[in-house]
Amino acid sequence: MKVLIVEDEQPAFGNLAEELHVIDEKIDVVAGCGSVEETIRWLNDNPQPDLILMDVQLSDGLSFSIFKTCKITCPVIFTTAYNKYLTEAFQFSSIDYLLKPISQDRLSNAIQKYKTLRNHFVGSYDPSDSSSPYPHNPLPEFIGRHDRKRSRILVRKGAEFQTVRIEDAGYFFTEHKLIFLVDKENRKYMAEKSNLSELEEELDKNLFYRANRKYIINANYIKRFKPLEKSKISVELTLPVNEEIIISQENSASFKKWIGES
């Protein structure tokens, strides 16, 4: 398991590297980067690690800016002394958010979470197997694999993570640049995705339909729909929604075709 540590304080880097080795002696800390610029250079010149431990505040700015330059396809555990970056952190590839000072138990739990999610999504995948189609990405399900559609999705409720079966997702919606999932029990979760377009590509198009810029809906949770003026369509779900879901005139024909084939 190859880990990149992004941390601008040398003592903190040393402590993390030592604690990781205590937690699992097979963990290989492949590098340590102390700035945004250094991390970008490293990511451009090296294969993606299996996991990144990334401090939010670096010597030359916030580490979130790294994602604007580099396509990071592996999961990230953010570390910081402040909780004010929590919401922003989970817009990226984050699977956990550790507040400093980081206890060994908290770090161990985060590493175990990574391993559990890896095993859950890829089963018997062996990251040391050079014949694997994902030699540097043990969590291909997290980054939008296109050879098969999702069966589960990673979500967050408060500070905790869990997975939801994709067929149990009544609908997805975006609000304040975040993506939310509402399940069959009308429970709301923050989905670990950056935008609806990315999510749409990973969903079974026989089951899910992009109703408009804000909503993706599940065919199994459509209660009824009715025509509106100018050939628009209003869709009512079996789950409560805070606003009317409108299909545009341009998409009304494709929606009718889709619902008839779903």
Q: Residue 261 has what pLDDT?
A: 67
Rg of the chain in Å (alpha carbons): 21
Q: If pLDDT is split at 50, 70 and 90, which confidence band does 149 have?
A: low
Percent of the chain whose pLDDT exceeds 90: 53
Q: Is 158 left (phi over 0), alpha (psi -120 to 50) or beta?
A: left
Angle at 81 between CA 192 and CA 84, to 5 degrees: 50
Q: If pLDDT is split at 50, 70 and 90, which confidence band does 91 have?
A: confident
The whole-number average pLDDT for the span 165-171 is: 93
For residues 25 and 145, the model is more confident at 25
Distance CA 246, CA 225 (A): 10
Q: Residue 159 has what pLDDT?
A: 67
Q: Residue 201 has what pLDDT?
A: 86
Over residues 102-134, the pLDDT tens digits come to: 988 899 999 998 888 877 655 434 444 444 333
Query: Sign of the C-alpha dihedral, residues 136, 141, 143, 147?
Result: positive
pLDDT surpassing 70 at residue 2: yes
Q: Residue 217 has what pLDDT?
A: 97
- Amino acid, single-letter form, for residue 205: K
